[in-house]
Amino acid sequence: MNEDINSEILKELKSARRFNRTVWVVLGVVVLLCEIFHRRSVAPDQPWTAVQTAVKQMDFSRALIMARANIARYPNDYYGHSYIAYIYLAMGDVTNSERAYSRAYELFPNEDNE
């Protein structure tokens, strides 16, 4: 009888151990997926957040340097070209502003870029 109780307890412990492993694996996968989706949603905007901060502080030369670096990484980003055009215009450089707006319009023709 004592052996029957011990074997039942051992069986229950093994079952609980399998359940705990499964829970930890599922929890780990959920945390990993949350981290991946969080990084995807945050990563693209962060470089432009720094540029926007520099523009708000009217530090246009610093904003232009950061914006050019972003464009070097993402050369087909119409938003980036449009933002550079805005910075040039704020600096009074109409020629480069027009050139950047033209590039933005080539990448994504819309009324704002036109």
pLDDT tens-digit map of 64-88: 999 999 999 999 988 899 999 999 9
The total domain count for the chain is 2
Residue 112 placed within a domain: no
Looking at the whole model, is its pTM more than 0.95?
A: no
Note the pLDDT tens digit of each residue in 37-49.
Answer: 766 554 455 778 8
Contact 97, 89 (CB under 8 A): yes
Residue 50 placed within a domain: yes
Same domain, 53 and 103: yes
The boundaries of the domain holding residue 84 are 46-107
- Residue 31: partners with Cβ closer than 8 Å, 6 or more residues away: none
- State CA 101 to chain mean position distance: 25
Does position 104 have pLDDT exceeding 70, yes or no?
A: yes
Structure tokens at 96: 């480069």
70 torsion bin: left (phi>0), alpha (psi -120 to 50), beta (else): alpha
Residue 113 placed within a domain: no
Residue 62 placed within a domain: yes
Same domain, 96 and 65: yes
